[in-house]
């Protein structure tokens, strides 16, 4: 320490007291107060974090409800056009079969476009395809020599998937095993 600093300390007792306070350990009561203060701060932070978590959870639940509520909105909007076209077709009294057929074809095109936009795809198995119980529903078994047992013989009704989830399985007939004919002698 420089001589000048030493002289300042000797002349000013407050400087000495401040230095002594810095060097002396805190008392038990001071430590207790500090602990209580830190515990209070910790409790405040804990409550803030809990409130923040609850707010996030509430907002997430609200957003999830909105998503469920309006999930089909785009598809429904496209179906309005299909409905309009079908109603116009029913109101047509012209008797012009070709015009009616063309209108129905255009309506089907709009429907296909709506399916495409909402990721709805056909399950359209072909004769001889292997029966997939996840995508096909065997409605009946029939004898068929030209396909192997358990394979699809014909399609009764197309199935549909949406984002790889089956909405309706394709309804099919399935080849059954040929039964040997018993001699009736």
Digit-coded pLDDT (tens) for 130-150: 999 999 999 999 998 888 998
- pLDDT score for 11: 58
Residue 151's DSSP bridge partners are 130
Using DSSP's 3-state secondary structure scheme, residue 166 falls into strand
71 vs 11, which has greater pLDDT? 71
- pLDDT score for 155: 95
Indicate the range of 65-69, 167-171, 181-185 predicted with least confidence.
181-185
- pLDDT score for 138: 93
Angle, in degrees to the nearest 10, between helices 73-91 and 97-117: 180
Q: Which of 57-61, 77-81, 99-103, 146-150 has the highest mean pLDDT?
A: 57-61
Q: Which two tokens stand for residue 135?
A: 């995508």
pLDDT by residue (tens digit) across 112-122? 999 998 889 99
- pLDDT score for 176: 87
pLDDT by residue (tens digit) across 75-85? 888 889 899 98
Could you give the maximum distance between any two Cα atoms of the chain, in Å? 138
| Average pLDDT of the residues in 31-41 | 94
Write down the pTM of the prediction: 0.59
- pLDDT score for 88: 86
- Residue 79: how many CB atoms within 10 A of its CB? 15
Q: List the end-to-end C-alpha distance of the chain, in Å, as a whole number.
A: 130
């Amino acid at each position: 320490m420089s001589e000048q600093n030493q002289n300042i300390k000797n002349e000013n007792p407050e400087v000495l007291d401040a230095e002594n306070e810095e060097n002396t350990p805190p008392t038990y009561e001071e430590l207790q107060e500090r602990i209580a203060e830190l515990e209070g701060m910790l409790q405040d932070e804990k409550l803030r974090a809990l409130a923040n978590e609850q707010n996030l959870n509430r907002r997430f639940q609200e957003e999830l409800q909105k998503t469920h509520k309006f999930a089909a909105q785009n598809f429904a909007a496209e179906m309005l056009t299909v409905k309009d076209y079908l109603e116009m077709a029913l109101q047509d009294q012209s008797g012009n079969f070709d015009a009616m057929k063309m209108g129905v074809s255009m309506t089907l095109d709009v429907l296909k476009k709506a399916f495409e936009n909402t990721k709805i795809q056909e399950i359209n198995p072909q004769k001889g395809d292997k029966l997939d119980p996840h995508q096909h529903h065997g409605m009946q078994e029939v004898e068929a020599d030209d396909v192997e047992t358990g394979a699809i013989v014909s399609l009764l009704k197309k199935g549909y998937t949406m984002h790889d989830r089956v909405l309706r399985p394709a309804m099919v007939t399935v080849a059954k095993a040929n039964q040997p004919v018993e001699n009736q002698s």
